[in-house]
């Protein structure tokens, strides 16, 4: 009953299609980019395609852990990825990335020495990565709900989180903390007057104990749910990344739901983080990846991205192209005095990492 002739015809068709597909990458140049979600002005990608003729295949992720798992499994298939500082450092030591060919990146001249100096902590000499965006980890809050419960609430101080008599006032309203030891433990250390980069197990235990003491007031440890929860007015306070909280602010504004979200960098200091663009060792389109990085180092291009996502970038020359409302927003571009109070977190060595992980699990699960 089989129609052999027909089958042969369709086989021939499939073979021709396969040949065409296999030939395609050789004809069209492409670069595969893996970046955070909601983190670019799509027009930037279109402009790049128009200008260079290189097609951009753009995928997004929402956590460093997910990116790291793909990179460590090997053969991720991406040419440009965007991990955050401490993750980048660890991935460099796992030989995940290749050194940048700086001769192909003439636009490196536009970078911001101050930012380069700080990112060198993760990537000595900035040999493997360029800065895409940077920001802070601070306090996001629902203005009306905070006022309702405490008129003079210290939203610009870590007292809001770590002083039991203050934090307990907001327990019923919902407090979220990032589910990441790397972001929360250093702040607890800072609040105790210790070095946020302390690797001393005793000091780390003290920070853990501080967190456990306020634990009953925390509704949830989660690294992304707070964006929606803040924007919808479901919670009062979230300790999170500046850009995420500003995104919640914008979403609430767009929804016109009467929710006003604020963001403050606490006066005691806060962690500064950096998202870095790097090229995996097994990238297939190395040439195109460099072209993409060089394009992103163009002051006008990266200014366009900053204007869209409300983050500061590491490109000094771009600042004249950044919109006034973004540039003058001190929660995005902190003033010099605030900048001095920001600290950078060093990556933990494997042994400290295990101690930190265990302390963190105890804080989060109570186990």
Does the protein bind other proteins through residue 219 (CB under 8 A)? yes
Does the protein bind other proteins through residue 179 (CB under 8 A)? yes
Task: Choose one: 70-78, 205-213, 298-306, 330-338; the region binding other proteins (CB under 8 A).
Answer: 70-78
Q: How far is the CB of 113 from other proteins (least distance, A)?
A: 30
Which position among 29, 57, 63, 116 is part of the footprint of other proteins (CB under 8 A)? 63
Q: How far is the CB of 349 from other proteins (least distance, A)?
A: 10
Cα gap 167→175, rounded to integer Å = 9
Does the protein bind other proteins through residue 71 (CB under 8 A)? yes
Helices 201-214 and 350-365 pack at an angle, to 10 degrees, of 20
| Subset of 89-118 contacting other proteins (CB under 8 A) | 90, 93-96
Rg (CA), the chain: 23
Cα gap 306→246, rounded to integer Å = 13
Q: How far is the CB of 89 from other proteins (least distance, A)?
A: 11
Contact 90, 353 (CB under 8 A): no
Contact 123, 129 (CB under 8 A): yes
Does the protein bind other proteins through residue 74 (CB under 8 A)? yes
- Binding letters toward other proteins, positions 315-354, x by CB under 8 A: -----------------------------------x--x-
Nearer to other proteins, 173 or 187 (CB): 173
Which position among 10, 37, 69, 328 is part of the footprint of other proteins (CB under 8 A)? 69
Does the protein bind other proteins through residue 73 (CB under 8 A)? yes
The phi and psi torsions of 239 (rounded to 5 degrees) equal: -90, 115
Q: How many residues bind to other proteins according to rule CB under 8 A?
A: 33
Q: How far is the CB of 6 from other proteins (least distance, A)?
A: 26
Contact 276, 84 (CB under 8 A): yes
Cβ-in-10-Å burial (0-12, 13-18, 19+) of 177 comes to buried
Which position among 6, 23, 202, 366 is part of the footprint of other proteins (CB under 8 A)? 366
Does the protein bind other proteins through residue 220 (CB under 8 A)? yes
Q: Which residue matches tokens 């006003």?
A: 260
Does the protein bind other proteins through residue 361 (CB under 8 A)? yes
Q: Torsion angle of alpha carbons 215, 216, 221, 226, nearest 10°?
A: -120
- Binding letters toward other proteins, positions 221-260, x by CB under 8 A: xx--x------xxx--------------------------
Q: Is 237 helix (H, G, I), strand (E, B) or coil?
A: strand
Sequence-ordered strand ranges (E) for 214-256: 220-221, 237-241
Query: What SS3 string covers 315-363?
Result: EHHHHHHCCHHHHCCCCCCCCHHHHHHEEECCCCCHHHHHHHHHHHHHH
Does the protein bind other proteins through residue 218 (CB under 8 A)? yes
The residues binding other proteins (CB under 8 A) are 63, 65-66, 68-69, 71-74, 90, 93-96, 174, 179, 218-222, 225, 232-234, 350, 353, 357, 361, 364-367
């Amino acid at each position: 009953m089989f129609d052999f002739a027909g089958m042969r015809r369709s086989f021939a068709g499939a073979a021709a299609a396969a040949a065409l597909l296999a030939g395609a990458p050789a004809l069209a140049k492409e670069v595969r980019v893996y970046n955070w979600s909601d983190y670019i002005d799509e027009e930037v990608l279109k402009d790049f395609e128009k200008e260079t003729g290189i097609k951009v295949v753009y995928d997004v992720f929402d956590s460093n852990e997910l990116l790291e798992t793909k990179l460590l499994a090997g053969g991720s298939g991406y040419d440009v990825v965007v991990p955050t500082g401490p993750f980048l450092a660890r991935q460099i030591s796992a030989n995940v990335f290749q050194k940048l060919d700086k001769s192909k990146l003439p636009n490196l001249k536009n970078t911001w020495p101050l930012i380069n100096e700080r990112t060198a902590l993760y990537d000595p000499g900035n040999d493997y990565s360029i800065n895409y965006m940077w920001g802070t980890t601070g306090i996001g809050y629902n203005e009306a709900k905070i006022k309702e419960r405490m008129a003079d609430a210290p939203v610009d101080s870590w007292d809001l989180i770590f002083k039991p008599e203050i934090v307990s006032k907001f327990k019923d309203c919902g407090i979220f903390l990032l589910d990441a030891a790397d972001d929360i433990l250093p702040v607890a250390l800072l609040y105790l007057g210790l070095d946020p980069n302390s690797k001393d197990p005793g000091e780390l235990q003290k920070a853990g104990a501080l967190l456990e003491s306020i634990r009953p007031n925390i509704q949830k440890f989660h690294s992304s749910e707070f964006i929606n929860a803040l924007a919808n007015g479901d919670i009062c306070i979230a300790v999170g990344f500046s850009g995420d909280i500003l995104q919640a602010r914008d979403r609430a504004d767009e929804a016109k739901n009467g929710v006003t979200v604020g963001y403050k960098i606490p006066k005691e200091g806060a962690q500064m983080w950096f998202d870095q663009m790097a090229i995996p060792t097994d990238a297939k389109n190395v040439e195109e990846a460099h072209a993409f990085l060089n394009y992103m180092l163009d002051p006008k291009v990266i200014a366009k991205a900053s204007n869209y996502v409300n983050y500061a970038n590491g490109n000094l020359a771009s600042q004249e192209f950044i919109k006034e409302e973004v540039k003058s927003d001190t929660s995005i571009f902190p003033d010099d005095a605030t900048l001095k109070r920001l600290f950078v977190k060093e990556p933990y060595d494997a042994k400290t990492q295990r101690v930190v992980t265990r302390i963190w699990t105890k804080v989060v699960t109570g186990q």
